[in-house]
């Protein structure tokens, strides 16, 4: 898979901000990474989203989602979770949780995107 500059930038941000263990690196006590380790870790990574992802929302949004689909609205992206438990926790922030199961293979950018949490 060939990554574009935007995908690469987003993936590096994910690693450095949230999940350095994704590529087998650790950050020092100040949050810095060894650049060579970062590059080597990225080269070894073949991140592909799971076939099924989950979207957690509140019951009050179901009618709109059922009518219009999952839309980012004022955000850049729709938040998808890799497991149902996480989606339930996200949905609880919006009232009674409702979970949508998403077939990621049918998403337009499935082969060009990587999971972001």
pLDDT for res 117: 37
Per-residue pLDDT of the chain (117 residues; tens, 9 = 90+): 456 677 778 888 888 888 898 888 999 998 899 999 988 888 877 656 678 889 999 999 999 999 999 888 887 778 888 889 999 999 999 999 999 999 887 776 554 444 443
3-state secondary structure 72-111: CCCCCCCCCECCHHHHHHHHHCCCCEEEEEEEHHHCCCCC
pLDDT for res 45: 74
CA distance 61 to 95: 10
Q: Using alpha carbons, list the distances in angstroms from residue 35 to 28, 30, 38, 40, 115.
A: 12, 14, 5, 9, 22
């Amino acid at each position: 898979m060939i990554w574009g500059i935007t995908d690469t930038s987003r993936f590096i941000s994910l690693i450095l901000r949230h999940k350095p263990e994704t590529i087998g690196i650790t950050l020092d006590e100040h949050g810095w990474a060894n650049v060579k380790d970062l590059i080597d870790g990225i080269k070894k990574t073949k991140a592909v989203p799971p076939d099924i992802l989950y979207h957690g929302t509140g019951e009050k949004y179901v009618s709109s989602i059922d009518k219009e689909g999952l839309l980012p609205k004022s955000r850049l992206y729709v938040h998808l979770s890799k497991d149902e438990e996480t989606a339930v926790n996200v949905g609880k922030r919006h009232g009674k949780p409702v979970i949508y199961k998403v077939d990621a293979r049918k998403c337009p950018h499935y082969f060009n995107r990587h999971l972001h949490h």
